[in-house]
Structure 1
């Protein structure tokens, strides 16, 4: 069987991907950070510990693999210095690439997880971004991903390493969906990006209007209502969410498909989710009130799946409502790995 090596195997995408691969006819080696006991791997999955700063450990982790899926990365800058951050994300990717082309290499395809953040979500230059749209990221995370995309392409030119670049968009697991579009989440979203200042990927938008969180209505303390943010033109804000199951499906399609060779794809949900739709779904299924909050600016971010649909047959199945329903109640899904205490929009 084909051995697939997955870095970042304990993450939101990696945990579900590893399980799908292990039941889908692949041998899987899950690469996790040393000491990571976040969750137990399936018994049939081999585990390797390797930090992205440790080239030797990464060479051992990749040894014998036919496919490398590189998911591991640091998202928010947090307490790291910029130098430390880029050592993990950019030089870390370089080390995984070096491991993949080393002596006795067996890697035939390198799949790299990039992000929609490379386009610069605060001021997209077109309504539906394609893989040909300008990449102009607004933060350290997006910039690190653009640099890594260049590295991946260069390793094709220099070493002949076949690659696929996937630009994921705002991935969430079903059990996280119930926290979105509520007052607490919306307030946290606005306050976090405002506090980050120029380090926020949405700063081009937020610098035009300070104190957006103060424009939210004061809710009843016993309620956490659903909130729709509305721009000055009367249109709701929107973000392009992706159910982790769709993300994993798109990724697996790239392992064997000849059409995926040396290509880049947007892998996102079936359509952008407006705050009007999201808030209405939350109010309906969580039995809470629905409020509108008028903002002096508007966030509108949508990507096109057309290329992935045409070349890979990728057709995302889950809109926000179906993701929410899969995360709770009698319809609770078992085809993904639940994560954390709730989804938060990427901040860096």
Structure 2
């Protein structure tokens, strides 16, 4: 059942509010006339500077370091705090300080400012991976993270959930899926390189090609998140794409857009000795985590859709086309796009 939207927020504090996702949330809220305070490690970064010009208050802050957390008396009271700041490394010695200790400090700041509502950006990596009989994975299933990052998110979720159970507190945990779109070359960059033969993939193709994931276009994430917050949802929800796609299916869609369809078939050929000597791209290594049986990133988002309605409106092919177009017109990844243009018939969609 869809709940009616609540009264708009007057002021929101957003940690990580100048990051890829956080900056989009910040911009959306400011467009809706909500006052936004952005807490970010680098207050002079381009996204932070752009948000400041749009009217956001930008404050330098690093929740992984207790000495770099702003004093509560330097911040105005707020209706909500969105916690998006994170270390997203798969494995790093700083993960606990940033994602667990940092979350604890964020909640202490919410208490000091008497903020009643906290939204925590968790990850599907907290849930972990599933086998074919298990998927799609639901929020009430056991968490089995396969990375240090995922484990740090589980611990942070526990902190937020406990905080939300206290009197006068409400907390929303969103397990965010694999996000893509203009401004993020995640998985797009190595996939294009693989299609061009510029990064090895044949050595891992047999293990990689059948694995499932659910890419979610950035605009759809923002839409779903804003609807969830408008309705003041509490609890834990998966927020993922609607379309489960294999890695082979993803590369086939990308190859079709770039007029490189013949390259997908080449990936089935035996690996050369040269390709075996090159390291695997980090994005491919990420997808290869888990076992051959429990290897799919496929999640059930019906709990969230029941509350807010359908929110994913960008099919993968359309989202990839928009992302490629943005990189072409913005001048990002120029060398890669130039290489694509040199391929016969390539990039005619642009």
Is it true that 1:277 corresponds to 2:249 in the alignment? yes
Alpha-carbon distance, 1:58 to partner: 6.0
Is 1:241 the counterpart of 2:251 in the alignment?
A: no
2:12 equivalent to 1:4? yes
Q: Does 1:99 align with 2:109?
A: yes
Q: Secondary structure at the match of 1:147?
A: helix
Question: Scaled by the length of structure 2, what TM-score is found?
Answer: 0.73
Matched residue of 2:222: which SS? helix
3-state SS of 1:304 partner = coil
Q: Could you tell me which residue of structure 1 aligns to residue 150 of structure 2?
A: 142
**Aligned position for 1:44:** 55
Equivalences for residues 1-348 of structure 1 within 5 A: 2-39=10-47, 40=49, 41=51, 42-52=53-63, 53-54=65-66, 56-57=69-70, 59=72, 63-76=76-89, 81=93, 84-102=94-112, 105=114, 107-121=115-129, 126-174=134-182, 176=185, 178-179=188-189, 181-182=191-192, 184=194, 215=203, 229-230=205-206, 236-258=210-232, 260=233, 262-288=234-260, 289-291=263-265, 292-293=267-268, 297=292, 299-329=295-325
Superposition TM-score, scaled by structure 1 size:
0.74
Provide the C-alpha distance between the structure 1 equivalents of 2:314 and 2:84, rounded to a whole number of angstroms: 22
Cα contact 2:121–2:175 (8 A) shared by 1: yes
Task: Give a deviation string over 1:276-332, Cα, whole Å, max 9, x none.
Answer: 321221111112122244999474321111011001224211232111111244999
Aligned equivalent of 1:209: none
Displacement of 1:171: 1.2
Contact 2:137–2:299 (8 Å) recurs in 1: yes
| C-alpha displacement of 1:129 | 0.9
Gaps of 5+ in 2: 1-8, 270-287, 337-350
Go from structure 1 to structure 2 and tell me whether the alpha carbon gap of 1:33 and 1:14 turns closer, same or farther (over 3 Å shift).
same
CA contact (8 A) 1:113 1:168 kept: yes
How big is the alpha-carbon RMSD for the aligned residues of Structure 1 and Structure 2? 3.5
Check whether the contact 2:128–2:297 (CA below 8 A) recurs between aligned residues: no
